[in-house]
Structure 1
């Protein structure tokens, strides 16, 4: 298990220059925005506008704090996303824009390079045990409250803004215990193409 403390995350400018993102983890290490296999990040969005385009990627987005936003993804109907919503998945190369509902938000973003990795992103607001299944790598992100992780009788506490990167060989099974009234997020990463049943 690798603990990523909030203070140790690097700040990276958005690809379109419209803001900056807090990079939680990227593979390979220190990969650029055009070279990563997978990437997990959080960003503060303070104004309406288009998303950066990431050709050949699939991405998932969750609003972790704030009133929410309206997403326009290609020709599909607009989607309202707030902190109580399940994450939404879409192609990184589909033109996408956001309109804030009422003030700035913070979002969690997961991206995988199509054909190299696939991912699932899910919101966790109650004690949950997961065993990785066919996924080799997992991440737990605690954006706004404390989260305890119990792995092989060892307990680790994530503070707000912290994350943990886990592997199936060393850290399965893992129990996620969010603090009361707190939600965290589980990212499951699978090497290769998209799996049947992936979110």
Structure 2
């Protein structure tokens, strides 16, 4: 199992220069913002403003900390908070955010829609399930969680992640914290 520690994430400016992002995982390895196939990152949002646009990309945004934000996506508004389900939307439509009460940290999962798809869900702990054929990650939102497969048992602290090995068939997540499950899958035929 590959473990991603929060202290080791690659930090870089947003595509539009409006803030900073911490890259957790990207495919292919070392891909740029222009040519990734999929990407998982965290952003610290300290002020209102527009989102960066990514052509042909689908995005899911999850609030990790802070009160949340009001998103305006192609003229439609919705409030996204720590209690909200992860929100999926196209990253190439006009999107802006208004903070609901101070700085927010969010998780972004993005996939190139012509070849990839993804799903992000909040887990109810303890969780036990079968591993899918997708590329899978467990991300610790808060506290500490334990991830266990046939290949081992690993402790994750807040904002750490784990890539679940392809050879694993069973997955168990427990602990005092909260976690997200991220699945990234290749489309069987291009769109």
TM-score range, shorter chain: over 0.9
Q: Residues 109-163 of structure 1: CA distance to partner in whole angstroms, max 9, x if unpaired?
A: 0000012210000111321123233x33101111322110011273210011210
Matching residue within 149, 152, 156 for 2:154: 156
Judging changes above 3 Å, is the alpha-carbon distance between structure 1 residues 9 and 60 closer, same or farther for their aligned structure 2 residues?
same
Q: 2 CA distance for matches of 1:188 and 1:129?
A: 15
* TM-score in terms of structure 2 length: 0.94
Partner of 2:39: 39
Q: What displacement does 1:62 show?
A: 0.5
Partner of 1:103: 102
Partner of 1:174: 171
Partner of 1:197: none
Judging changes above 3 Å, is the alpha-carbon distance between structure 1 residues 55 and 145 closer, same or farther for their aligned structure 2 residues?
same
Q: 2 CA distance for matches of 1:193 and 1:10?
A: 31
Q: 2 CA distance for matches of 1:27 and 1:166?
A: 15
4+ aligned runs moved over 6 Å, structure 1: none
Q: 2 CA distance for matches of 1:14 and 1:161?
A: 19
The secondary structure found in structure 1 opposite 2:21 is strand
How many residue pairs end up in the alignment? Answer: 189
Mark the runs of 5 or more structure 1 residues left unpaired by the alignment. Answer: 195-199
Judging changes above 3 Å, is the alpha-carbon distance between structure 1 residues 14 and 193 closer, same or farther for their aligned structure 2 residues?
farther
Q: CA RMSD in A?
A: 1.5
* TM-score in terms of structure 1 length: 0.90
Q: Residues 36-67 of structure 1: CA distance to partner in whole angstroms, max 9, x if unpaired?
A: 01000111100000000001000000101001
Q: Residues 74-118 of structure 1: CA distance to partner in whole angstroms, max 9, x if unpaired?
A: 032x11111111000000101100000000010010000012210
Pair 1:114-2:113 in alignment: yes
The secondary structure found in structure 2 opposite 1:187 is strand
Which runs of structure 2 are paired with 1:1-199 in the superposition (5 Å)? 1-76=1-76, 78-133=77-132, 135-152=133-150, 154-167=152-165, 169-179=166-176, 182-192=177-187
Choose between structure 1 and 2: higher strand proportion: 2
Judging changes above 3 Å, is the alpha-carbon distance between structure 1 residues 176 and 102 closer, same or farther for their aligned structure 2 residues?
same
Q: 1 CA distance for matches of 2:129 and 2:186?
A: 18
